[in-house]
Amino acid sequence: MGGILVVAEVRDGKLFSGTLSAVQFAQQVGQQTGAAFDIFVAGSNIGSIAEELSYYGAKKVLVEDNPVFAHYLAPGFAASVAAAAKQLGSSYVAGTATTFGKDLLPRVAVRLGAGMASEVTEIVGTRNGRLVFKRPMWAGNIVGHVVVNTDVVVVSVRGTDFDKAVKLANRSEVVPFTGGGANTRVQQRFISFEQTASERPDLTEAAVVVAGGRGLKDGPNFFKIMEPLADSLNAAIGASRAAVDAGFCPNDLQVGQTGKVVAPQLYVAVAISGAIQHLAGMKNSKTIVAINKDKEAPIFQIADYGLVGDAFKVVPELADAIKRARS
């Protein structure tokens, strides 16, 4: 059996910390199979990121440092990752189940003729010499056990379900690599990337998330109620799909089956009913607080703490009380 290749994600010129969950996954595959893992990173001017990645126990860190990779473009990245996996003879290619991984990894799988397991949350064990992965299906209502039968297996890893790998004292070898992704036959050109500027923590990384729903009536009310609460807890702001679809807030705030998956220490759901598609994105949160004026709202069934009341009255009071308690 070959090794595992972890694809590192670079965001805004920095290593995205979710990569370390994919490294943790690779370490666990190694424990089950005895295989070693390598890391591939592509970007522009990424010497310090490669250096950072060399302290997590990889056999090698392959670095494709080229101005062409300054911005993520699927065809080139996929070609280079596949070339790296072929050169190393990797049996597994793993990355994060983020927008980057969701876009990149299926293309890598096609290039390698590999089967893919998406959003893996656990390695359950082995069956007939193959790894068995756990992954949610049907908005998390079914937990599937998946065995992939191809020679090479591509996996996207849910960062919320694997701890981040710990930095080690020993340094891995860092090797420059050219995978041909800079010269693919597909014409690729970066035009622009419109990023929402926010002082708040990243939604998928935040220790505290406060999320608002359709019950907040409209956009101005959504932010009037949610921002002071988020400020009081240094939280990221999330939203239900109904709030996004109604135009209260941008869709990068959406939590759920078709939004982001979060598992913070604390999740506060404000005026959110608790539809299964919403729960699919937040039910692994450590502590869930629900605020809803309807005491029968399904969100209370999974909440650790519930507050029945009108959000327009109780949330500002709660935010004030938290601010007072913290000052």
Ligand X SMILES: Cc1cc2nc3c(=O)[nH]c(=O)nc-3n(C[C@H](O)[C@H](O)[C@H](O)COP(=O)(O)OP(=O)(O)OC[C@H]3O[C@@H](n4cnc5c(N)ncnc54)[C@H](O)[C@@H]3O)c2cc1C
Q: Which is nearer to ligand X, 178 or 277 (CB)?
A: 277
What lies within 8 Å, CB to CB, of 292 at 6+ separation is 215, 269, 270, 271, 272, 273, 299, 300, 306, 307, 308, 311
Nearest Cα to 96, choosing from 185, 191, 7?
Answer: 7
CB of 259 to ligand X, least distance (A): 4
Min dist CB 296 to ligand X, Å, is 9
Distance (Å, rounded) from C-alpha 135 to C-alpha 249?
Answer: 30
268 binds ligand X (CB under 6 A): no
Rule CB under 6 A: choose which of 79, 272, 288, 290 binds ligand X. 272
Q: Whose Cβ is closer to ligand X: residue 23's or residue 272's?
A: 272
236 forms bridges with which residues in the sheet? 209
Token pair listed for 174? 């860092």
Near ligand X by CB under 6 A: residue from 310, 317, 320, 321: 310
Name, in order, each residue with C-beta under 8 angstroms of 284's C-beta and a sequence gap of 6 or more: 160, 161, 261, 263
**CB 126: neighbour CB atoms within 10 A?**
12
Nearest to 286 by CA among 308, 310, 302, 270: 302
Question: Is residue 208 within 8 Å of 286, Cβ to Cβ?
Answer: no
Stretch that binds ligand X, among 19-27, 48-56, 166-174, 308-316 (CB under 6 A): 308-316
Contact (Cβ atoms closer than 8 angstroms) between residue 43 and residue 65: yes
Measured from the CB of residue 170, what is the shortest distance to ligand X in angstroms? 42
Binding of residue 307 to ligand X (CB under 6 A): no
Q: Is residue 44 part of the contact set for ligand X (CB under 6 A)?
A: no
> Which residue of this chain has its Cβ atom nearest to ligand X in the complex?
256
Q: How many CB atoms lie within 10 A of CB 174?
A: 18
> With binding defined as CB under 6 A, does residue 254 bind ligand X?
yes
Q: Is 273 in the site for ligand X (CB under 6 A)?
A: yes
Q: Which is nearer to ligand X, 188 or 221 (CB)?
A: 221
Which x/- pattern, by CB under 6 A, does the window 188-227 give for ligand X? -------------------------xxx------------
Task: Confirm or reject binding of residue 312 to ligand X (CB under 6 A).
Answer: yes
User: What number of helices (H) and strands (E) belong to the chain?
Assistant: 9, 17
Considering the rule CB under 6 A, would residue 281 count as an interface residue with ligand X?
yes
The separation between CA 105 and the C-alpha centre of its own chain, rounded to angstroms, equals 13
Interface with ligand X by CB under 6 A: which range of 61-69, 120-128, 160-168, 252-260? 252-260
**198 vs 251, beta carbon nearer ligand X:** 251
Select the span of 23-31, 84-92, 147-155, 306-314 touching ligand X (CB under 6 A).
306-314
Binding-site ranges for ligand X (CB under 6 A): 213-215, 240-243, 254-259, 271-273, 275, 277-278, 281, 292-294, 297, 310-312
